[in-house]
Structure 1
């Protein structure tokens, strides 16, 4: 049967999507003698196995696609580290009034009962469609099912097109072509070089060299170019707001988008729109400034391209190093602020009464030097106001709130564990993961910036210092940092009081835990994803409350893994197959990220249902005993007086009746 006849039958048939099943199997967890209940596509997205379909053997490794018909017998024997696959079940029906020609074609060969298996040349296109289709199907609403059905047709078109072109190639797959197409199809999503290379089963450096050689550009620059081409089209052909355009091409922050667009095209977005429409230029104002200059966040399947994965970053793991900002841009903003301040007869923070008082007049004749103190911090020594009245925080909100410091700008967003507190105190807060909002900090007119930065973030520190004196402290060891910062702000006594209160709570919690479950209670802290699981070590700052401060015993297998890693390692990412090795009395499980919105968090919790179906999960001793405790990453993946106090509450709720 030729392809023209197969495609004609596909075009004439009514397709009904019956089910999408996501399955993970470990070695020994075989599927034997399974009769396909309908036509089926088997999309193997990870791992290796020996598969038998209707008596034909297939050796599967990595991405692989198979198709079988109703009644075909399927056997799966996972090998290596196991496998994960999607089984997509569908039914095809030709119209009753179909012509005799269609019936003769169907007799010559039914494409819906076709048996085949192959490694696609462009698996990322299929993987992206499969994930969207499965997510829509899982939501189960009528509208989402309609979307899943439409996505199935796209998936069918893609696999048939790739099957037609499939043939053995001595040169291997075209990695550049796959990467380019993936970027073009998914430019609106956050993408990393590391994540893209992982999907293509090559190293990030190798993929970068291939793109540089073939296209003369880096993956990051190519992604930016694709995004900006779409932005130019939207600006020229639609009246969409900049906020909408930025979000639609993968930029959660409209100001960062505006800077990137101007760097790429030479014109700010609104001037580009005016030029494209033949109108006079309009004011270059990307959007009306608000207290929260952040756009709705996109899916977090990947982090922004070429961000560094480093321990100790912005809360969640992996951590993101702040994106760099142009020094020239920061200096320009500072100069603008300086001149706007000079144009006013009184300071920006000066009350009318103070401006007209004798003291104010005397100050204008004989200005007094503002009092400063020299402070030693993680980035060196800095002179700061002796009594700062306008403090901007970048990552140390928990400590500063505990000190009741005069905050005028904070780094937080809806869903963050401190967001509601900041709102109640009328403290402006904004945050875009992976990016420092310099404009919001500048608008707040701080006289001091208190930040959490990595030692390597020298450029970020220099940029902040152009706005106001900046001091940097460690968030992981907040007890030490709060005392040092308390001294700098003249709030040392309050800092010691916060530490004492936390130590008292910790002592009482330890006593309650020992009384309830004894002194040898073992625990383990994990975070699963759809493909693997993160096992956190006692040395990790964000989970040390559980293992170290509360005096609980770390899981024996976890300690074995830790002994094989470098000192201070955060933990280890492992396959699901290791889960039954965790013999701890209690399993603490966190999901999502530290900056997840409430709906995102709840959706992630609901997805645990798929994990709980796995055989390896059911074999975990703590699962068998019903001693699994789900806790929120929104405070567990951060440190501070409030965050760590919430962790203590979680552990007490789990262990103490």
Structure 2
């Protein structure tokens, strides 16, 4: 579509995900009905030779069948949704903190985790941490099979895809032997958010859009990161143009020109930005333009501004966002 320019990586977007949409990452793969169908995981427990740790056979998202520890102790995580592991009470020894460290909603939980570089990981740093399991994000366009080969020489390496929050949590629960913890989190979050949704008393059958502002650029989100909460949890309906141009095509986000903002805008707008209210009101801000002011949601005071740290969809971020939503929405 001439109006939209796809970004090469969701990392840029978050830088929102600063690294905030750092969390989001690049091109998403087409979704399937279940996490297992999507990534092809299957596990078979086996007992290793006497004197060695117990292992199990695991087939990852790209079809590699790997012998991994049943109870891994020194994990490297190269993705942007570190909260997926922390929610299961698993703290890796190393993670790609350079991508997410300054952008996430839970910085205090990073204590004790070493930075291993970008989403592919620094080989020397990873080796120095003596990992027994490496979890490699293979959902982005930057993924290279050669990197998997190199990492797998250091420790058993498992790839995973960028799925919905619940699907990812189930996948990591399967890999790490935390299946019950994964199910417990999914059930508890659903129950707690139902209570919050009732408290918010939101309208039904209305459309919404999620925009991300980075500098002078504006991005519209598909159904990833914050948008997943807006559409799947808060139960807003995606604006028609968002559904047609992004969600139906499995696009996580797109950069759009200012003149097209009204076409992608729903009846409610959720705008991710690190600009203060004063900065948004400056003369060179897109929020002061006639195009922005012409959007019905703007005219009707149905615009909600959020810090870009909320553009991740890991469990920790979603829990903390749930606590903040009444304040954000003025309820």
> Which TM-score bucket, shorter chain as reference?
0.7 to 0.9
Match of 1:617 in 2: 292
Aligned-partner SS, 1:467? coil
Shift of 1:602: 5.3
Distance 1:421 1:540, change over 3 A: closer
Bigger Rg, which one: 1
3-state SS of the aligned residue for 1:407?
coil
> How many corresponding residue pairs?
290
Q: Which residue number in structure 2 is paired with residue 390 of structure 1?
A: 74
1:605 deviates by: 8.2
Answering whether residue 234 of structure 2 is matched by residue 547 of structure 1, we say no
SS in 2 for 1:496: helix
Please show how residues 90-169 of structure 1 align to structure 2 within 5 Å. Answer: none
Which digits, 9 at most, give the CA deviation of each residue in 1:166-193, with x for residues without a partner? Answer: xxxxxxxxxxxxxxxxxxxxxxxxxxxx
1:642 Cα deviation (Å)?
A: 1.2
Q: Distance in 2 between matches of 1:382 and 1:471?
A: 7
Q: 1:553 to 1:652 in 2, by over 3 A?
A: farther
In 2, the alpha carbon distance for the partners of 1:617 and 1:499 equals 38
Looking at secondary structure, tell me which structure has more helix per residue.
1
Offset at 1:374?
Answer: 0.8
**Over residues 149-176 of structure 1, what are the superposed CA-to-partner deviations in whole Å (9 max), with x where a residue is unaligned?**
xxxxxxxxxxxxxxxxxxxxxxxxxxxx
| In structure 2, C-alpha distance between the alignment counterparts of 1:460 and 1:573, rounded to whole Å | 29
Which of 366, 373, 376 matches 2:56?
373
Specify whether residues 651 and 554 from structure 1 end up closer, same or farther in structure 2 by C-alpha distance, changes over 3 A only. Answer: farther
Distance 1:465 1:625, change over 3 A: same
Q: 1:507 to 1:378 in 2, by over 3 A?
A: same
Paired residues for 1:180-329 under 5 Å: 309-310=8-9, 316=21, 319=25
Task: Give the 3 Å change call, closer, same or farther, for CA 527–535 of structure 1 in structure 2.
Answer: same
Tell me the equivalent position of 1:429: 115
Structure 1's 406 and 619: CA in aligned 2 closer, same or farther, altered over 3 A? Answer: closer
Corresponding residue for residue 301 of structure 2: 626
Residue pair 1:590, 1:630 contacting (<8 A) in 2 also: yes
Residues 29-84 of structure 1 deviation map (CA, whole Å, 9 limit, x = unaligned): xxxxxxxxxxxxxxxxxxxxxxxxxxxxxxxxxxxxxxxxxxxxxxxxxxxx9xxx
Matches within 5 A, 1:53-68: none
Instruction: Confirm or deny: 8 A CA contact 1:631 1:650 kept in the other structure.
Output: no
CA offset at residue 568 of structure 1? 1.5
Q: 2:316 corresponds to which residue?
A: 642
Which has the bigger relative contact order, CA under 8 A and spacing at least 6?
A: 2
Displacement, 1:428?
A: 2.3
Cα deviation, 1:536-593, whole Å, max 9, x if unaligned, reads 23x445522211232112234544655xx862123443221233446633211112xx
> Is the CA contact (8 Å cut-off) linking 2:216 and 2:286 kept in structure 1?
no
Match of 2:146 among 449, 459, 467: 459
In the alignment, which residue of structure 2 is the partner of 1:407? 92
Where in structure 1 do 4 or more consecutive aligned residues deviate above 6 Å? none
Cα distance change on mapping 1:448 and 1:561 into 2, 3 Å: closer
* 2: CA distance, partners of 1:612 / 1:579: 11
Q: Secondary structure at the match of 2:97?
A: coil
> In the alignment, what sits opposite 1:106?
none
Taking structure 1 as the reference length, the TM-score comes to: 0.40
Q: CA deviation at 1:495?
A: 1.6
Range with bigger deviation, 646-655 or 441-450: 646-655
> Alpha-carbon deviation of 1:438?
2.4
Q: Is the 8 A contact 2:103 2:308 kept in 1?
A: no
| SS state at 2:114 partner | coil
Whether the 8 Å CA contact 2:286–2:292 is kept in 1: the answer is yes
Map of 1:606 onto structure 2: 279
Q: Match of 2:173?
A: 486
Gapped regions of structure 2 (runs ≥ 5): 28-48
What's the Cα RMSD here? 3.4
- 8 Å contact 1:375–1:384 — kept in the other structure? yes
1:522 aligns with 2:207: yes
CA shift in 2, pair 1:620/1:649, >3 Å:
farther
Structure-1 residue corresponding to 2:46:
none
**Closer, same or farther: CA 583–469 of 1 in aligned 2, 3 Å:** closer
Question: Per the alignment, do residues 409 and 558 of structure 1 end up closer, same or farther by CA in structure 2, a change over 3 Å counting?
Answer: closer
Aligned-partner Cα distance in 2 for 1:444–1:553: 45
TM-aligned CA distance change 1:311 to 1:466, over 3 Å: same
